[in-house]
Amino acid sequence: MGKIMGSWSPAFWYVLVLSFALVVGPGAQGWSKEGHIMTCRIAQELLGSEAAEVVRNLLPHYVNGDLSALCIWPDQVRHWYKYRWTSPLHFIDTPDNDCTFDYERDCHDPHGMEDMCVAGAIQNFTSQLINYREGSADRRYNMTEALLFLSHFMGDIHQPMHVGFTSDEGGNTINLRWFRRKSNLHHVWDRDIITTTMSDYYEKDMEVLLENIETNYTDGIWSSDVTSWEHCDDILSCVTKWALESINIACKWGYKGVEPGTTLSDDYFDSRMPIVMKRIAQGGVRLAMILNRVFGDSKEGFATPT
Ligand SMILES: [Zn+2]
């Protein structure tokens, strides 16, 4: 580990610190800052001692062991020249109105390059971390970056509109109003539902909202579902299942009844808010499941496709 850490150039650290300082612009895609922070906070709480230690060692010192502080980093660098290749990794475009996800058919970038979608990215960064653990990591790969990408993309694949229709770019081109403010359907799911929840019910305090979500899966309404959320035999079938869940929710709850120019308000908010909170919880629980299997002392690994 010391070897890998030591091999990074000072320029890398500079870039990482600089990128952390940048503010994500309004055009950014992915769960909002809050969505990603909560996903990663949930995951980190659920890590066993071994995985917790590896994660802590991979993080740069200035975040004091807090994974969530860097979970939005992939959104901040996606337009930089060096990381432009990661831009298609945040989402999946599926056929319009089809409400299905087929890995072979849909997981590619706009030029048709295979595996270049959020489901492929999760597989790729998971296997990089497995190789690191097994001591067979390719020195070209940066394990801190792999951890940050994996943590971020586990959030994105659970944001239902990140597995949306191709022609409206996952709702990005469906302009509408969220209560009185201008927004678009994608952004409603990325951020508006979360911020409205915080201001209406939690005095804008994300910590209290997070505690509420955690109570729901530890001994509340989702506590008996967690085992099935975590179930994962091999990573390909799991990312496929999670993407399918998202496109199904996108169809049933995201796009349903929404026309461009419409105003979404209480009815939409009240019925969708619990879904968003559950997706954040699932993303966090499943990220912890992956990290515990990859870094933990549990011998339960993944059946990896050959
Ligand atoms: Zn993203």
Q: What are the pLDDT digits (tens) for 106-128?
A: 999 999 999 999 999 999 999 99
- Of 153, 156, 155, 176, residue with least CA distance to 255: 176
Ligand 1: centre distance to CA 33 (Å):
10
Ligand 1: centre distance to CA 32 (Å):
9
What is the DSSP pairing of strand 181-184 with strand 175-178? antiparallel
Do 176 and 264 form a contact (C-beta atoms < 8 A)? yes
Write the DSSP assignment of 21-85 as a string of letters.
HSPPPTT--SS-HHHHHHHHHHHHHT--HHHHHHHHHHS-GGGTT-GGGGTTHHHHHTTSGGGGG
**pLDDT at residue 135, rounded to an integer:** 81
Ligand 1: centre distance to CA 112 (Å):
20
Amino acid at 183: S
Ligand 1: centre distance to CA 104 (Å):
21
Ligand 1: centre distance to CA 122 (Å):
12
Ligand 1: centre distance to CA 267 (Å):
27
Query: Which DSSP helix (H) or strand (E) runs through 121?
Result: helix 118-133
Ligand 1: centre distance to CA 171 (Å):
15
Ligand 1: centre distance to CA 164 (Å):
14
The residues pairing with 47 across neighbouring beta strands, listed in sequence order, are: none
- Of 31, 139, 4, 146, residue with least CA distance to 86: 146
Do 36 and 152 form a contact (C-beta atoms < 8 A)? yes
Q: Angle, nearest 10°, between helix axes 193-201 and 266-295?
A: 110
| Residue-wise burial string across 77-94, b where 16 or more C-beta atoms lie within 10 A, e elsewhere | bbeeeebeebbbbbbbbb
CA distance 239 to 235: 6
Ligand 1: centre distance to CA 192 (Å):
16
High-pLDDT (> 70) share of the chain, %: 88
Ligand 1: centre distance to CA 118 (Å):
9
Phi/psi of residue 22, each to 5°? -75, 145
pTM value?
A: 0.88
Write the DSSP assignment of 130-185 as a string of letters.
HHHHTT---TTS-HHHHHHHHHHHHHHHHSGGGEEETTTTTTTT-EEEETTEEEEH
Ligand 1: centre distance to CA 230 (Å):
22
Ligand 1: centre distance to CA 299 (Å):
31
Confidence of residue 133 (pLDDT cuts 50, 70, 90): confident
Question: Structural domains in the chain?
Answer: 35-295 (1.10.575.10)
At 144-195, the pLDDT tens digits run 999 999 999 999 999 999 999 999 999 999 999 999 999 999 999 999 999 9
**pLDDT at residue 297, rounded to an integer:** 67
Ligand 1: centre distance to CA 152 (Å):
6
Ligand 1: centre distance to CA 146 (Å):
14
